Structure 1
């Protein structure tokens, strides 16, 4: 696809342009409109959607991160004043507390179906999203938020956190028997996101301290050792395991996953701001993570980010899911604010041009969750439209200052100007 090269003499930043902001607002509303009418499963949790936006047939398995992310997204909707969002929040919180929460052994089970637990393991990735959901729900005063926040914090501290490493263990059996031999960055990355949200919701510095320790381990030490390629897989001592072969390509793909480099670029800048800008390594690391991603993983011929690379930096899985380019939009937005340059503005525009041309499903709504190498809709790993979280945040992050989480920035903006009904194209 032809690519326009932005220069320092080109017009101003798109993030400041009213038309661009209105366009992003419209896309966010379309995403909500796809999920609002059909997402609630009356048996608890939320349906995954097929490619046309209808609930997937069969006995619905509800993994915990799907429910928790929906809570987070509809807290965003509630903060923005979207009618009907509070019902979605309550539906998700009730299912997390009364369904996923393990009343016998403690913690939160990975997945449920209509008959109860489907996979009762206790996973760090899932608990990170419970922390995010509870922290977000606290911002809108949900009655379960404080109890859930205290409960999942205790579980993370007592069961998952490994102080000697400054990160969490990956997984346990239902009765907390350890599953040995593996540590993963993905669960710790999302815990970093959730810890920052918990800090913003409570002002408890311990959440921030843990987030900074995880970032130091995974980015300042291990990614720096790899010239800012983020390793995914580690042994129990947090030595990189380059030989790891995936059992689950969705959550633990082999090789490296550049979409996570992009996600970390934004999270590192957010953590830098929340920590008082005292860690000088964070903004420079964010710049390097973004640059490595676009240099090594962007398809210079067709556009889009390859899903995974091998350790020789060659594309391994060559298809192009929606979530890496969504994370790229958020990272480019944060960099454009904290490290403004023609380079970051050019990539911000290129990313959104590609999303608009290839990822947005104008027939059925939402985004295609997977494109093949030629940017055609595909379903090799992702079967429908299960996710609101990545695409929604990509649309909304550029509308707010890059000074914290999206939820907290919306809350602060509306607290400061509660009588204002619209803000430069905000939803």
Structure 2
């Protein structure tokens, strides 16, 4: 199957084997870290940045941003980037104190003004708690003070409230006091839980977290996605019945958009390969379907999402007939695309994944990289012009930074654990 423009060089002539390309990736990553440093809030946590890289004072600090930036700076600290370690410590402090609900446990979605502030989102969300666990795991791998205590608290919360042994997946969200659960189950929160679980397995040397990641993947990908032609079914009711018209009236939701999200298929594709590699590395059984499904997801994402409306770039969402719904191009989708292509190239050696890898970095260089103000545009319209219909500003550097890092690393162990052992491998 040819799904990206072929090149004429030999299949062994991968960009990833070229020192100049690796230097370019490193330089891109370092520029993203430099941009992200402006998000540090003296009061604690990290601010959402606007298009020019300035903090948006009117926006309440978010736990998601704090966790993602802490994780990203931990990866930078592990590589020896000056200033990154202090920013990890800053993030640990915020996640330990400011964002934590000391009354009921768990983490707020956003920073409260006081303990009884009625204006904040007080729900306890699996999506956010997965990122807190990921940040704590990466910070622990980086050896930062207070990280292990934060990690232990995050793990206890996941196990007590979110992980469902009966379902073999994560519950979605609860009221602040944990007494009411949401009658919804989401693939997005479970996908990022897989990401966090793989990191927990490595940092804690606890294979149970890989087992749980495999359980989630088996249900959501090998059962539901494979049956849907490797399009990731995103929304379910509390009994795990597919909810295909969920958010039909809010098609551009940031985290739960209507329909199908090609970018998530790309993200899942890479995660399945990370999971497979992690299982094999520890002598654990890795089902053959992990590779088969990773390829199926990748191909389905490209077939349905890439240039779906005739212009280059991945559309954000499509409907169940594969027609574009939200045509905006999100930076995280193309970032996950290059990471998935690199992972599949490393795993299979097939030239077609190199084709996509090259084509998509060319696209990022042409359209996504903001050479005037720094970082990447978080959203482009259907004509590949900067836009803000779904995302405004440049909230964090998590997806873009990982796109510059992951292609330079083996598929296992997870990035922070690997860099703690072999920081030279990122060079």
TM-score range, shorter chain: over 0.9
Query: Which residues in structure 2 correspond to 1:33-52 (within 5 Å)?
Result: 33-36=34-37, 38-52=38-52
Return the offset for 1:412: 2.7
Equivalent position SS for 1:131: helix
CA contact (8 A) 1:393 1:406 kept: no
Return the offset for 1:180: 3.1
Equivalent position SS for 1:179: coil
Distance in structure 1 (CA, Å) of the matches to 2:88 and 2:39: 12
Equivalent position SS for 1:56: coil
The residue number in structure 2 matching 1:73 is 72
Which segments of 5 or more consecutive residues in structure 1 lack a partner in the other structure?
418-422
**Offset from partner CA, 1:259-302 (integer Å, 9 cap, x none):** 11000000000000111162111011101100111111001632
Match status 1:147 vs 2:149: yes
Match status 1:326 vs 2:327: no
The residue number in structure 1 matching 2:31 is 30
Return the offset for 1:103: 1.1
The residue number in structure 2 matching 1:267 is 271
**Offset from partner CA, 1:178-213 (integer Å, 9 cap, x none):** 233210011110010001001110111111111111
1:107/1:113 CA distance change after superposition, 3 Å: closer
1:293 corresponds, among 278, 292, 301, to 301
CA contact (8 A) 2:265 2:298 kept: yes
Match status 1:5 vs 2:6: yes
The residue number in structure 2 matching 1:400 is 409
Distance in structure 1 (CA, Å) of the matches to 2:67 and 2:80: 20
**Offset from partner CA, 1:296-346 (integer Å, 9 cap, x none):** 100163211000011111110011010000000110110010011121110
Return the offset for 1:8: 6.4
CA contact (8 A) 2:142 2:416 kept: no
Match status 1:256 vs 2:264: no
**Offset from partner CA, 1:153-193 (integer Å, 9 cap, x none):** 12111111111211111111101122332100111100100
CA contact (8 A) 2:142 2:420 kept: no
Distance in structure 2 (CA, Å) of the matches to 1:132 and 1:370: 25
The residue number in structure 1 matching 2:139 is 137
The residue number in structure 2 matching 1:182 is 184
The residue number in structure 1 matching 2:352 is 343
CA contact (8 A) 2:6 2:352 kept: no
RMSD over aligned CA atoms reads 1.7
Distance in structure 1 (CA, Å) of the matches to 2:104 and 2:9: 59
Return the offset for 1:109: 1.2
CA contact (8 A) 1:27 1:395 kept: yes
The residue number in structure 1 matching 2:60 is 61
- Residue range with higher mean Cα deviation, 180-189 or 273-282: 273-282
The residue number in structure 2 matching 1:356 is 365
Distance in structure 1 (CA, Å) of the matches to 2:192 and 2:166: 20
Distance in structure 2 (CA, Å) of the matches to 1:76 and 1:174: 31
Distance in structure 1 (CA, Å) of the matches to 2:305 and 2:413: 27
Which segments of 5 or more consecutive residues in structure 2 lack a partner in the other structure?
none
Return the offset for 1:9: 3.5
The residue number in structure 2 matching 1:420 is none
The residue number in structure 2 matching 1:126 is 128
The residue number in structure 2 matching 1:171 is 173
Distance in structure 1 (CA, Å) of the matches to 2:190 and 2:97: 25
Equivalent position SS for 1:229: coil
Give the 4+ runs in structure 1 shifted more than 4 A: 113-117
The residue number in structure 1 matching 2:110 is 111
Return the offset for 1:66: 0.8
The residue number in structure 2 matching 1:315 is 324
TM-score, normalised by the number of residues in structure 1: 0.93
Match status 1:376 vs 2:388: no
Distance in structure 1 (CA, Å) of the matches to 2:295 and 2:98: 41
Distance in structure 2 (CA, Å) of the matches to 1:41 and 1:294: 39
Distance in structure 2 (CA, Å) of the matches to 1:292 and 1:178: 37
CA contact (8 A) 1:215 1:268 kept: yes
The residue number in structure 1 matching 2:291 is 283
Distance in structure 2 (CA, Å) of the matches to 1:324 and 1:268: 17
The residue number in structure 1 matching 2:240 is 238
